[in-house]
Amino acid sequence: MSQPDQSAEAPKYRRVVLKISGEGFMYPGERGIAMDAVLHIARQTYNAAQHGVQIAIVIGGGNILRGAQFTSGNSCVHEATAHYMGMLATMINGLALQDALESLGCNTRLMTAVRTDGVAEPYIRRRARRHLEKGRLVILAGGTGSPFVTTDTAAAQRALELESEIILKATRVDGVFSDDPEKNPHAVLYSELSYDDFLRQNLRVMDHEAITKCAEYNMPILVFNFRKDGNIENAVLGQRIGTLIHE
């Protein structure tokens, strides 16, 4: 990365995990990768990093493929294979994001939990920390490297092992609502929620497995809208956007 801007406002957090779903890489209703959308996220991330915060980005793959698509009884693809296909989809997104960030002048590293020597470094916790300490934006692809979970769980796992202070979960809506805001206009946006309330109300913004892991270690999660320009920066500055899920 170009050096952090010394005159920039101090960030609230020293180190964060930013979870970006594959849907951030496409336009609503489409599939695949729209580089304009990737650049929009890259620019916001670059601006956030200028405040001196260390950012590890856990990338999803849902714009290309989710393992669950193949779970119907008549699929000849084994469920575990389907999940590996999903993990490889996150690699494709990681490569696109890396080039988008580097086109803006960021110094990046792409690391993966599924070995793909030649395109990305294997994920090694200590090496990831070192990259972060050197001011590199670290993109974490391949999820956890194990099937049957999602990249939300990977975000929880990496946040804990990299000693992130928070997970910033970028979504296409403003935060956690009492109901699906895209279907119910009366859905209420929560500004804060406890882990227990999230689980009790069976809210769907983030995987319950990931929330449970965060609850166990008291890792806060900020759910916010990445489509609003400047929101990734607002999130690292600690501005009151979205929904904070905590103890």
Catalog residues that contact ligand UDP under the rule CB under 6 A. 21-23, 60-62, 66-68, 83, 86-87, 89-90, 143-144, 146-147, 149-154
CB of 20 to ligand UDP, least distance (A): 7
CB of 125 to ligand UDP, least distance (A): 16
Nearer to ligand UDP, 219 or 237 (CB): 219
Rounded Cα gap, residues 87 and 142, in angstroms: 5
Residue 244, strand partner residues: 192, 222
Rounded Cα gap, residues 186 and 78, in angstroms: 41
Nearer to ligand UDP, 50 or 153 (CB): 153
CB of 187 to ligand UDP, least distance (A): 21
CB of 85 to ligand UDP, least distance (A): 7
Residue type, 228: K
Angle (nearest 5°) at CA 75 between 72 and 76: 150
Nearer to ligand UDP, 1 or 55 (CB): 55
Residue 18, strand partner residues: 57, 168
* CA quadruple 63, 101, 88, 83: dihedral sign: negative
CB of 9 to ligand UDP, least distance (A): 29
Inter-CA distances, 82 with 62, 67, 75, 122, 199, Å = 12, 4, 10, 21, 27
Nearer to ligand UDP, 113 or 137 (CB): 113
Nearer to ligand UDP, 146 or 225 (CB): 146
